[in-house]
Amino acid sequence: MSERTRWIPLEGAVNARDLGGLPTVDGRVIRRGRVLRADNLQGLTVTDVRVLLDDYDLKNVIDLRSDAEVRLEGPGPLARVPSVRLHHLSLFAEGGRHTDAAADQPPPPASDPSAPSAQPDPSAQPDPSARPAASAPGVDIDKVLPWQSRPGGGQHEDRSIGFYLGYLRDRADSIVAALRVMARTDGSALVHCAAGKDRTGVVCALALEVAGTTREAIVADYAASGERIEAILARLRASDTYAADIDSRPADSHHPHAVIMEKFLARVDEELGGTAAWLAGHGWTDEDTEALRARLLD
């Protein structure tokens, strides 16, 4: 499968693609139509929904947005499809008024991202009939869309990596649950957040690592969102939830540079013993690995 055909043409999402076709270290490839990734699904049209159901046999949506984002934006049109199950698995430590309890605090230190934290049950399903609040406060864009590169470089790359490691520290439960959805369900699973590049990028990278995908292919898939960054930001600007903060920053500051994922995965290797070891420390089993690889690999 070529890089071109991995993109899924949708009217209501601009960063949608299939992980199928990515190569593994043992010469195999990720199977098409098993894991999809995308940006926010609020604008999906009737035609888009039919494409996902008919062409990709969509059965599960893994929604990595925060509680506040789901409350403000709504769960999206797929919540009204009886054959699709929604799994709301936020990557933030929920509990505050906005995105999370520490929304107004600086990013946490990147050390000890494996430390456990008490979390609410992530399996609760959003109410499909819920409507966005009419005039609610926005979410914290530093959490939702980490400011990845400003003039001056390195320290800001490290800042984004700190956020990514924070997902592992704060919401191991959500990450493990997301990978199990991919491993143990029929049809395809679609992973998404707001932009489809940061939270979605981390979860997809970890799944691909478990499946044995080459590091080069994982990094390239992460960076591919950069091809759509202007369209992604245009969609976010159209939403009251994200618009004000997006407009305050240059578009290039949100670019998903390959070096960010390279450094993140290197930190996971160096500090946590690698993806497999980190997952095993949070309840992931050999049977889970076998199930995920059986689902994803040709």
Residue 64's DSSP bridge partners are: none
- 196: helix, strand or coil: coil
Q: What is the pLDDT along the chain (298 residues), one digit of tens a residue?
A: 445 589 999 999 999 999 999 999 999 999 999 999 999 999 999 999 999 999 999 999 999 999 999 999 999 999 999 999 999 999 998 754 433 323 333 444 444 555 444 343 434 444 443 433 333 455 766 667 675 544 444 555 677 899 999 999 999 999 999 999 999 889 999 999 999 999 999 999 999 999 999 999 999 999 999 999 999 999 999 998 888 777 776 666 778 999 999 999 999 999 999 999 999 999 999 999 999 999 999 8
Site of tokens 């489809």: 196
C-alpha 219/C-alpha 256 separation (Å) is 10
Instruction: Return the pLDDT at 88.
Output: 97
- Token digits for 126? 């959003």
* The pLDDT value given to residue 185: 84
Round to whole Å and give the CA distance between 173 and 193.
Answer: 17
Output the pLDDT for position 154: 52
Whole-prediction pTM: 0.83
User: How high is the pLDDT of residue 243?
Assistant: 85
What angle, 0 to 180 degrees and rounded to 10, lies between the N-to-C axes of helices 154-170 and 258-272? 50
